[in-house]
Structure 1
């Protein structure tokens, strides 16, 4: 989502137009002709033709035999690079994989990036239901997932209100919290138990729990760790889940701190749950 008021004075229009073309093609899996792209991007056909040819030369779009254009392989290469950057050091991935292996639950790493909740890494566990929507880059269900709640809980109430106004509170299930007041109550309960959680709010029959791994004055350096499990197991083993998640969060924090410059990089790991109560 672009902020018109935040447009830089030195914006390069041709680059901006090329990105709009790429976005338009990417949103159309059946492919688009140059004329269709021009209409969607509100550009002249001549301008669109030059932009499309340039993107095709660079590999970001590909022309099919019927004359339509689809996304090119260079986009997938950039996505792989993005997910690798989001994951952080290999030691963090190792921690998540070990936690998934030890518990059987899928584990997730999330953080703020430019003010948005972003899922950065996933380690699948055999005992967790597969959640195809929880992939790196996911950011539209913060109010319905434990990892999103953990990050939202680090914001002020005013910041949370602004976030929810910008990104909405989509009802994923009948149990999804869809009002700011109800979310505030839910977050407060999570703070008291030293673990944010949801049961059936993102997907029926699935529960998710999350704890803060790293706190920081800079929101973009706050990191949370979460796990997903069958809802029935959460109902009977929440304390055990919290204990394991807290240990995993400490291990993640240790791995991240090793990568930061200076003493702790100015970052403060969270207190253990017992100390915060």
Structure 2
């Protein structure tokens, strides 16, 4: 005999609901509002409203100014976090678009506070990303993303980076000394793809393009197995020509 399934209502915390209603009430007044008005708009007894307003102010979600309550710094941090998450989501969507359009894994990285920071990758079982078998930050001289980012720096910043992360043999095809690398980086034409063959991972070829990201350096890259090398330049050229229309509208900043 079947037993009827009882639907359990979710457990709601009344104090949290009340606090959120107060925050919404405060947010609806650009210049703030006094406690009595907020209590009335939130449908709360005045003593309860006073208690929650004090708590929210203590946690910096609200701020009291000249007898009225306004939104505090903590609310701004929440909004900033939401905006950053939205940018990351839009970035991931853009990478996935190009992964599907080109049939290759697509990577995004930035140069932040003196370090190469790998931000995101879109790949698939049919187009797997290159495993990070050697630290991307320490081996920027050996992969296309790193070389592309370093090429966007001035010579002093490049030398500083290489002093902290010396050139080393990652594979037999890696650049051997900093002077050769610096000469190669200085000769790269602006906005042209950076190509590396088996310098970071044997059996893999990669190409990267610079991306405008606020005032800092950023780059996108693709990779392919060595036996598919003929696809590399046409694919990265398609990426270079088409990516501006997708990414420029996102107004990326280095803080992503």
TM-score normalized by structure 1? 0.54
- Is the 1:142–1:148 contact (alpha carbons within 8 Å) kept by the matching residues of 2? yes
Counterpart Cα distance in 1 of 2:84 and 2:166 = 27
Q: Give the superposition deviation at 1:167.
A: 1.3
> Counterpart of 1:228?
223
Question: CA separation in 2, counterparts of 1:104 and 1:213?
Answer: 20
Cα deviation 1:207-259 (Å, max 9, x = unaligned) = 1100011155x33xx2211111112333x2443123222145314532431x6
Q: 1:99 to 1:113 in 2, by over 3 A?
A: same
Equivalent residue, structure 2, for 1:270: none
Residues 72-91 of structure 1 correspond to what in structure 2 (within 5 A)?
88-91=87-90
Gaps of at least 5 residues in structure 2 are 1-80
8 Å Cα contact 1:196-1:210 kept in structure 2: yes
Is the 8 Å Cα contact of residues 223 and 232 (structure 2) preserved in structure 1? Answer: no
**TM superposition score normalised by structure 2:** 0.59
CA distance change for structure 1 residues 185 and 233 in 2, over 3 Å: closer, same or farther?
A: farther
Tell whether the 8 Å contact from 2:107 to 2:120 is kept in structure 1 after alignment: yes
Partner of 2:120: 121
Local SS of the residue matching 1:120: strand
Question: Could you say which structure has the larger radius of gyration?
Answer: 2
> Equivalent residue of 2:106, what SS?
strand
C-alpha displacement of 1:186:
2.9
Secondary structure at the counterpart of residue 189 of structure 2: helix
Q: d(CA) in 1 for partners of 2:206 and 2:101?
A: 17
Provide the secondary structure at the position in 1 that maps to 2:195.
strand
1:254 aligns with 2:254: no
Aligned residues, how many?
Answer: 173
CA RMSD of aligned residues (A): 3.1
